[in-house]
Amino acid sequence: MEVGMKVTQAPIWWEFVCGACGAHCQAEPEDVVSRPSVDCDGDVVGRICVVECGRCGKQHDVPVYLLTQKIAKIAAGKRLK
């Protein structure tokens, strides 16, 4: 780190622990992507907003209380197949 550099830290939008690998993850709204929601017959019935673990890549559903129209729109632009 160079002398005189000021480090600023953005507020963390969501912190969670990955159930698969135990990593402590931090996510920002820009990290949200959407994946297909499939019913028991294998039909796509919608999309789910998810964030991937930075260590193992497991997808975690974004809690409803964190979703806003703006975040859902960001995720809609980044669809997983």
- 58-81 confidence digits (pLDDT tens): 999 988 888 888 777 777 777 665
Beta-strand ranges (E) seen in the chain are: 14-17, 24-27, 33-38, 44-52, 59-61
Residue 39 is assigned to a structural domain of this protein: yes
Q: In whole numbers, what is the pLDDT of the chain averaged over residues? A: 82
Residue 51 is assigned to a structural domain of this protein: yes
Residue 2 is assigned to a structural domain of this protein: no
Number of domains, the chain: 1
Give 42-54 pLDDT, tens digit per residue: 999 998 999 999 9
Domain hosting 63: range is 14-76
Give 70's Cβ-side CA count (13 Å radius). Answer: 4
Residue 27: beta bridge partners?
14
Residue 3 is assigned to a structural domain of this protein: no
Residue 59 is assigned to a structural domain of this protein: yes
Confidence of residue 8 (pLDDT cuts 50, 70, 90): very low
Residue 58 is assigned to a structural domain of this protein: yes
Tokens of 54: 């930075």
Residue 7 is assigned to a structural domain of this protein: no
Whether the predicted model's global pTM rises above the 0.85 cut = no
Tokens of 57: 């890549």
Tokens of 47: 């999309």
Closest by CA to 21, choosing from 50, 48, 52, 49, is 52
